[in-house]
Structure 1
Amino acid sequence: MSAADPVPLPMVEPLTDMLGIDEKVLLDKIAYWLMVLGIISSFCLQFVGAPYGRYVNASFGFSVPGRLSWFIQEVPAFLIPTYLLVTSGGRQGFINSLLISLMIIHYFQRTFIFTFLIRGGKPSAFLAFFLAFVFCVTNGYLQGRYLTQYAVYPQSWLWDPRFIAGTAMFFTGMAINIHSDSILRNLRKPGEVGYKIPRGGMFEYVSGANFFGEFVEWLGFALACWSVQALAFVVFTICNIGPRAIQHHRYYQEKFDDYPKSRKAFIPFFV
């Protein structure tokens, strides 16, 4: 086996043998199916709101404590790419390691920092928790395996406009996401209950400012990676968080008579 050959994964080889395809083809198929499933879930969410937080009720059945569910569902998207990066030994090169590190940085923050900053931690319906967990496992493998074993970038990619713009978008989106989460956490003073209108930052433009930040992150990631796997990630993301932003927007409009009329749901000035 040469230094550039992919390292076999024990759990993957039997599956690819059974399907009669190699792993690279499997990664492409997973990417296409993620996009299809994202579109289907977006359609379903137009009729059934995402069952988490304020939207959970007894009709959704068993629920999982918010902080616990968030940690468990997010941690695979940190652990799997980290494991794949470490065990690959950087065989695909610096650029590949840098790109997968973007995902690792995001999920480290979401798993080990954001989780423990959550106030209240309203529950999530078990189905929503389980589907999020499955997505994080699948996507962690998809992005991690592709970038650590199969993606090939010339050294000149570091100066390619797609890489530069995509990386800048990623960190801009991450900053918006973290800042928006901070605004939401600090809406209520200690001892206060109920919901308030979020103000400041990107909330002046959209109701789902935290969702918009995450969308910008993964759009930048897809641009920097320039792969069908990263494209699948951002398509699936927008198909799921877009409807959630619209759900929040409608909730605020119905609850607050003085809700800003100019504020959009998800994309500033458009949606």
Structure 2
Amino acid sequence: MADVRTLRDAVAELVHDGDTVAMEGFTHLIPFAAAHEVIRQGITDLTLARMTPDVVYDQLIGAGLVRKLIFSWGGNPGVGSLHRFRDAVENGWPRPLELDEHSHAGMANRYVAGASGLPFAVLRGYRGSGLATRTETVSTVVCPFTGEELAAVAALNPDVTVIHAQQADREGNVQLWGLAGVQKEAALAADRVLVTVEETVDALAPRPGGVVLPHWVIDAVCVVPGGAHPSYATGYSVRDNDFYRAWDPIARDRDTFIHWLDTQVRNENENEDEGAPVR
């Protein structure tokens, strides 16, 4: 059974220096609270994996905790660039950032292979792009039945996957619903799984399109209402569009970003009215 514990204790136990960490969520259910706890604990030399790195990874990269990013798209959705991400790539600040870039289909298939216990996945893709020449995790295979040459992507097995969901029951089974990304696949592919949830309930009610992760694949459940802010949790909150707009000028300037990080994340008791709020 997955243990219900504090976020501080779960991060300290499950996320380690040098880990490959996937923090997945598509548009909503992005685990910002867990990422902020990683920043507070100063867990470093991380390889981050995510199909769509957005503001949460901008913050982790700007905090100097990330050495490598495995991804298929990056940006501040609806606003523009990730300026801490760009600064790390273009100028090596606060540290150089290694990139392993894929297509969306390639990333999704890497998680699927990892979740399936397979060494790689096969797909039609990467033809006509230069992505395959920039990574050692894309190759080709020849179909033994048709002779067709196909793209092959190496399985992605994070040391730990972190996600946010709406509910967990008393046994630690987790349910999420709404726009589904690759949370299920990323969790099943990982050695360790940490889930923050909006609430615990006595029993999970079946929902059309709902994804249930059984307690035996989850190491820790943390009750963190609003843990996806500034993204949202379908049925519980709405997207904080003001935050995403406010993030652009904060992230553009190194000193402004560091001030925001120190007052809004590292010292969580500071006045949250300065700049973009954490919650």
Q: Could you say which TM-score interval applies, normalised by the shorter chain?
A: under 0.3
Report the structure, 1 or 2, having the larger helix content: 1
- Give 1 or 2: higher strand fraction: 2
Give the structure-2-normalised TM-score: 0.23
